Each structure stands twice: as structure tokens, then as C-alpha cells.
Structure 1
Amino acid sequence: MDSHLLRTLVTVARLGSFSAAALELGYTQSAVSQQIAALEAELGAPLLHRRPVAPTAAGERMLEHARLLLERMDAARADVRRSALPERPELLLAASPLALDAAVVRALGRARAAEPRLRIRVRVLDRRAVAAEVAAGRCALGVTDGYAAPGGPLALGDLGPVRQAGLGEEPCAVLCPPGHPLRHRPGVDLDRLADAHWLDAPGVAAPLDLLRAATGGGAFPATAGHEGHDPAGPLALAAAGHGLAVLPRTLAARAGAVALPVRAPRLAHRREVLFPPGLDAPARVFLDALPRGA
């Protein structure tokens, strides 16, 4: 059964006119009439009443089949064409929220410029989950952040062959509300604040366990908590006085509250890129476009 005849039948029935169908399909009216007649002869049944143009009972049944057949044929053509196209390159990046900055976005732009067909996907995850995704090969690269001694790498556990390289670091500050008694201090030592009220927000702020270890095991009691990776929540909670939080100094300064520089212990907010050996071309362009830091 010729698909052209089926398409002509469906078009005539939809428009209710041989002449209108001929105009839409680019045929003469005579050719349309001949195609309908040929299909009726093949099936051995009239499919259309002529005056006015409308499907017969047999035509209604045939139209149901014709529409389905044409849809399947169109889908088959599209599927074969897609399979014949070269595979579209993809760059899948894992990122923690505080590591996904303007420099990373610019590097993604460089990768897209080098390969215009590149499909970019960014998977925003917890800091440690970024490392796990790259180590498991589920993401091409990762950018993550965390808190460490200045110049020291992030403690991310066993990454196997995955390498980690610094993208930069900045000092930390304690975020506290505007009326806090220490608001006029030029800086603070964290061990002096071990008994203060603290906000437990390990997805954004320095984890309290890290502060305890860095100061020799002080209390750092959590009087409020925040689960998640969006920095807006911890910033708002700390600024409103629900607990102190150690954050990157530039982030803390944007909170509309008091950002007290941390003097001791020496602590920095660090960003790193994680990448395995044997990167493909888009991943290599992205990596090379990142501004490397300490």
C-alpha cells in the first residue's frame, strides 16, 4: 500500500475538498482524484463520498489505519535519520554550589566555543558527592569546595587515579548578626567562640566537626541547623542570630550582617577541580580554560 495514497486520503478527508487537498499537497486536482480512485480499487471499496466530500463507512475505518501507519512511518524516518547522525559530544560536570562560579561558567563557554554541538550538563551535588561521581566515572570532571589550612588540599578521601588541582582559595570569616557583642573586633580566634551558639550547615559553612578538630576539640554546640546546599538559607539564619557560621569572607560580607575575619586557626575556603586521566577533547578544553590557583 503506497504511503503517498494514504497521505492523499487523509488530506482530502481532513480538508473536505479534492481541490484544497491538491493545493496543499502540490498535485493537480485530477491527480488527487486518480490517487483516491487507485486506492479504492486496491481495497475494493469506496472510501469517499464525492458530493459532498466525506468518508464512507469503509473510509472511516481506513482513515484510522492510515493515520496510524503514516505516524509510524514518519517516526521510522526520523529515527533512522537520527541514528545516521554522528553522536553528539557531551560534557557532564559535577559541581558543589560554592564552586560553581563565574570562572567555571566561562570555562564551559570555552568548551562550547571549541565544539558548537557540545551538550553541557551540570550536576549540582554535595561536596563529597562531587568527588565520588568523578572517581566512579559518572561525570567527566568535578569542581568542588571545602575548608582547609591555607595552601593545603581538600581532604576528599581515596580518589584512585583522579587528580585534584587548586582553583583558588580565600580567607574565612565568622558571620554574626549586626548586634553581636564582637561586631567591632578586627578579627576573632575560633577557640574563644567554642561555647557560642553555632549554626550547623555543613553543606555551605565550615562543618562544626572541622572547627572542633582545628581548635583542639572545643564544644561548638549546634543550636540551629540547615540541611541543603543553597547558601541563601545559612546566610539568612546566621544574619538573623540563629547561630554563628564560618564562611568564605566574600560570601559572608554579602549577607548584610557582620563578617569577622578568622585569625586563628588559619583556615581558608578552597576550590578544586577533580579530573581523571585520559580526558576527551571537550573536557580537556574546559580544564585548560580554568584559572588555576593555589
Structure 2
Amino acid sequence: MDSHLLKTLVTVARLGSFSAAALELGYTQSAVSQQIAALEGELGAPLLHRRPVGPTAAGERMIEHARLLLERMDAARADVRRLSRPERPELLLSVSPLGMDATVARALARVREAEPRVRVRVRVLARRAVAVEVAAGRCGIGVTDGYTAPGGPLALGDLGPVRQAGTGEEPCAVLCPPGHPLHRRAAVDLARLADAGWLDASAVAAPLADLRALTGGAFPATAGYEGQDAAALLTLAAAGHGLAVLPRSLAASAGGGATALPVGAPRLVHRREVLFVPGLAGPGRVFLDALPRGG
């Protein structure tokens, strides 16, 4: 089965458009249509509805397999390249927007002490993208974050052989602007705030979908922030564009009279995890061993 055809299928399904997929992949629209038709002919089943564009039941299943196959192929290429190019040692670390903290910085310093020639590269990605990069073999180690019950692992989906281990947790707080009616509370119950105005900033703050699942509340979004810069989010929340659940230390750093109200219920923490492949060696192993781990 041709990997190019699989990549085209996944791209068309993700974008919901043959023309958009052609633009992203560098093909003509007719070439994309021919590739999808060739794959459907090989499998003997229609994979995509044409109007509107979307996967059929068979297409949904094939897309699941295609994503896994493409990730494994990327991992195989990366392994072979590492073996065939014994150059200057390098550590590529993928981190989520809140994945970087002082413990990660100190672990990177330990790598440089152990191997002075090492080249360290840090790449900031979305939380789930960190897991995908490690699972696909595009980097051997990553640090991601999320919001979960105390002591519970982050729900990252099927990562294949990739292992995950906690590196630290801290309580959560609701960041509210100056003069907000809640600002004198000692702690808050999120279920009682389900009808307040919220800032939808799922790359940094606790995703509103998760808060809805935890409490059954509506959590309407009055504004949205699609970036990954924590400082920008703090500025928006402090200016009154909506409440946000954040790690307590981050919420407390907002300044400008904003208040960080501890979350009393439900039980919720901000958790960081390191993701790594079994048998990690070289700078990646030094980094991993330098991190505090538990959970």
C-alpha cells in the first residue's frame, strides 16, 4: 500500500476539501482525486463522500490505520537516519506551552555538563502534538502538560511503545480580573461557576470541554485565544475577557490586580509528564535521569 496515497487520504479528510489538500501537498486537484480513487480501487470500498467531503464508515476505519502506519514509517526513517549519521550528539526536546519549567531547564543543563558537544534544540508544540512527535520517532523525548485528577496520568490516547511518567503536579486556580465578584473567595467550586463567562484557551488553560466533562456544566466561552503564549493569555484574562483555570503559580503571576482563586472542587491539578521511548540512550537518557519523576 503506497504511503503517498495514505497521506493524501488523511490530508483530504482532515481539511474536508480536495482542493485544500492539493494546495497543502503540492499536487493538482485532479491528482488528489486520482490518488483517492486509486486507493478506493485497491481496497474495493468508497473511502470519502464527495459532497460534502467526508469519510465513509470504511474511510474512518482506514484513516485510523493510515495515521498509525504513517507514524510508524516516520519512526522507522528516524531510526535509520540516526544509525547512518553518527554526527555531533543532539537532543531534540518537544515541549508543550506549559511543559517548560525550572526542572526541565536544569535537566537540559545537566545534559550539557555531561556532553559538552551536544546540540540542544527545544521545540514548542501543542500538548497532543508532543505525544505524536515522540510516538512517530521524530524526537526521542518530550515534556507535555495537562489537567487531571491528583496522581492520575494524562489522557494522551494510544502512544504505542511510548512511556509516560509524571514530573510534577500543582494545584489549580481560577484567574479572575480586578473587581470580579469572586475575588474575595478563599476557594471556588467550578460547578458553581459553570454559567460564568469563560475564556476558551485550550492550549494553555484547562480546556472548557474538560471542565464540562468534569462538572456537567455549560462553561460558555465569551472570548477565545488560539495562541500558545501564557503571558498573552494572562493579559486577556486579567483584562476581563473571561475566567480561566490555570496552574496556581501561573495564575498568581498575572499581576494588575487580578486574583488567583484556588479550585476547591472538583479535585483538579496541573500535571507535567515526560514522554520517552524504551531504551532511550545518549543525551536523552541523561535528560530523563535528571528529571524528578513520580506518578
Is 1:291 aligned with 2:292? yes
Give the secondary structure class of the aligned counterpart of 1:223.
strand
> Once superposed, what is the RMSD of the aligned Cα atoms?
1.2
**Aligned positions of 1:113-124 closer than 5 A:** 113-124=113-124
Q: Which runs of 5+ in 2 are unaligned?
A: 1-84
The Cα offsets for residues 165-213 of structure 1, whole Å up to 9 and x where unpaired, read as: 0001011000001101111110010111111000000010000000000
**Cross-structure match for 1:21:** none
Q: Distance in 2 between matches of 1:254 and 1:264?
A: 22
Q: Distance in 2 between matches of 1:101 and 1:132?
A: 21
**Aligned positions of 1:71-86 closer than 5 A:** none
Question: 1:169·1:293 contact (CA, 8 Å) conserved in 2?
Answer: no
Larger Rg: 1
**Cross-structure match for 2:187:** 187
Q: Distance in 1 between matches of 2:202 and 2:124?
A: 16
**Aligned positions of 1:73-152 closer than 5 A:** 87-152=87-152
Q: Normalization by structure 2: what TM-score?
A: 0.69
**Aligned positions of 1:153-172 closer than 5 A:** 153-172=153-172
Change (3 A) 1:134 1:86: closer
**Cross-structure match for 1:231:** 230
Sequence identity, in percent?
Answer: 78
Instruction: Supply the AA of the counterpart residue of 1:227.
Output: E
Aligned residues between the structures: 209
Q: Distance in 2 between matches of 1:273 and 1:86?
A: 25
Give the secondary structure class of the aligned counterpart of 1:175.
strand
Deviation at 1:112, TM superposition (A): 1.3
Q: Distance in 2 between matches of 1:259 and 1:109?
A: 32
Q: Normalization by structure 1: what TM-score?
A: 0.70
The Cα offsets for residues 46-92 of structure 1, whole Å up to 9 and x where unpaired, read as: xxxxxxxxxxxxxxxxxxxxxxxxxxxxxxxxxxxxxxx96211111
Deviation at 1:293, TM superposition (A): 3.8
The Cα offsets for residues 96-119 of structure 1, whole Å up to 9 and x where unpaired, read as: 121111111111111111111111
**Cross-structure match for 1:264:** 265
Q: Distance in 2 between matches of 1:123 and 1:134?
A: 12
Give the secondary structure class of the aligned counterpart of 1:99.
coil
Q: Distance in 2 between matches of 1:182 and 1:86?
A: 58
Q: Distance in 2 between matches of 1:119 and 1:144?
A: 21
Q: Distance in 2 between matches of 1:254 and 1:87?
A: 42
The Cα offsets for residues 21-54 of structure 1, whole Å up to 9 and x where unpaired, read as: xxxxxxxxxxxxxxxxxxxxxxxxxxxxxxxxxx
